[in-house]
C-alpha cells in the first residue's frame, strides 16, 4: 500500500519550516537590495557615467579627458587637458549633466565640476 505524501507548498521554507518571504521576491529586487546593502550602487553609477562620457562626447574629447570621478552626492568631477575645452565645458555645465543623464536614461549626474 502506498502512503499518500502531503502536498508541498510552492513557497520555500526556512530552517524552521516557515515560509520565507524573501525567497518570493523577483531577482532584480534581490540584486538591487544586495547592491544597496553593500554600497556598490555609486561605483556602478560611476562606471556608467564614464562609458556615457565616451559615447556622448566622442573620442576626441575623451582623449583630452584625464580623469572622471562621480562623487556619492552626484557631482561629476572631470579633469581635462585642454584650456579652451575647459572653458567650453565650464560654460555648459548644466547641458553636460543633462546630456549624460539623457543618455543613461536616469538622473545620476546632479552637477559638474571641471578642472
DSSP the chain: -PPPPPPPPSS-B-TTS-B-GGGGS-HHHHHHHHHHHTT-HHHHHHHHHHHHHHHHHHHHHHHHEEEEEE-TTSEEEEEES-HHHHHHHHHTHHHHHHHHHHHHTS----EEEE-
pLDDT for 76? 96
Residue boundaries of the structural domains of the chain: 41-114
pLDDT for 11? 57
Q: Compute mean pLDDT per 10 residues along the chain, 115 residues long, and list them.
A: 60 58 75 80 90 95 95 94 95 96 95 96
pLDDT for 30? 83
pLDDT for 72? 86
pLDDT for 6? 57
> Domain 41-114 is in which class?
alpha beta
Amino acid at each position: 500500500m502506498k502512503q499518500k505524501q502531503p502536498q508541498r507548498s510552492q513557497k520555500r521554507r526556512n530552517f524552521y519550516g516557515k515560509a520565507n518571504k524573501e525567497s518570493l521576491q523577483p531577482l532584480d529586487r534581490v540584486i538591487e537590495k544586495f547592491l544597496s546593502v553593500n554600497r556598490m550602487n555609486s561605483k556602478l553609477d560611476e562606471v556608467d557615467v564614464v562609458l556615457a562620457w565616451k559615447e556622448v562626447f566622442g573620442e576626441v574629447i575623451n582623449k583630452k579627458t584625464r580623469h572622471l570621478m562621480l562623487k556619492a552626492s552626484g557631482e561629476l568631477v572631470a579633469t581635462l587637458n585642454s584650456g579652451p575645452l575647459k572653458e567650453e565645458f565650464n560654460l555648459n555645465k548644466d547641458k553636460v549633466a543633462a546630456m549624460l543623464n539623457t543618455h543613461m536614461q536616469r538622473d545620476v549626474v546632479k552637477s559638474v565640476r571641471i578642472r
